[in-house]
Chains A and B, each alone.
Chain A
């Protein structure tokens, strides 16, 4: 569920930001550096930043929401804990999607846009029939990377919530480490990690096969063909 939510937010948001970024001039470098900043921060530091940021007593986010009269406490409320983790992951990793999409967008030759202008294509048509097909390959990489990463997420939730409140944010990876290192049940932990690995491998294979077969169909029949 966490991976699904992450993909549903980060992929469209990443495309939108990449489309809004400037294509030439000094502002390109500024935007790229700003986008790369969250990716440069180690995962445990990101967790610590958001742990402090979300605290009601001293954190900017927690204290700000409390002063607005919103009952927010990620250490006691399951929904708040989930929202904090999703927000943190979106802040941390949308940049990767943006940078990948941006690299795909800037590699599109100008002639495509000129042809679209001559045909009087709308902004949506340009996106649907020129930009989206051209960034599909990098988007596939982005989806795969984000899926694998979000499915294996461990450090950030461990630092922010420690799997709580209760077991609400105990993801598979946290459960696995507790089993292997906490209880020292190496056999079940090894079996669980293998199943975990096979699930990730299987889902990635399905993603890749579906997206590349759709791509091949389009190459054979033209865009939009069913």
Chain B
């Protein structure tokens, strides 16, 4: 008698704890840096959008303009 294995994707739930840990330890800090890189602040925890200004400033584009 052969054993019928049921194929499904439930095993992904087994890696959920790792995914959550990776999200907390890597992706969230990375996204925080991304957030800072497109905003500016004058303090008081108020930020405003500057787009790619910082990227232009630190690359050759900033030196040219």
Contacts and interface: CB of A to CB of B under 8 A. Distances in A.
Interface in B37-63: 37, 39-41, 50, 53-55, 57-59
A191 interface: yes
A171 to B, nearest CB: 16
Contacts of A193: 33, 37
Tell me whether chain B's interface is mostly helix, strand or loop, or mixed: helix
A177 to B, nearest CB: 14
Interface residues of A, number: 11
B34 interface: yes
A187 B40 contact: yes
B36 to A, nearest CB: 4
A190 B33 contact: yes
Contact of B34 (A188, A189, A190, A192): A190
Tier of interface size on chain B = 10 to 19
A190 B33 CA distance: 5
Nearest to A194: B37
A187 B36 contact: yes
Interface string A173-200: 0000000000000111111111101000
B55 to A, nearest CB: 5
B58 A191 contact: yes
Contacts of B33: 190, 193-194
Contacts of A195: 55, 58-59
9 contacts: A186-B41, A187-B36, A187-B41, A187-B53, A189-B36, A194-B55, A195-B55, A195-B59, A197-B30
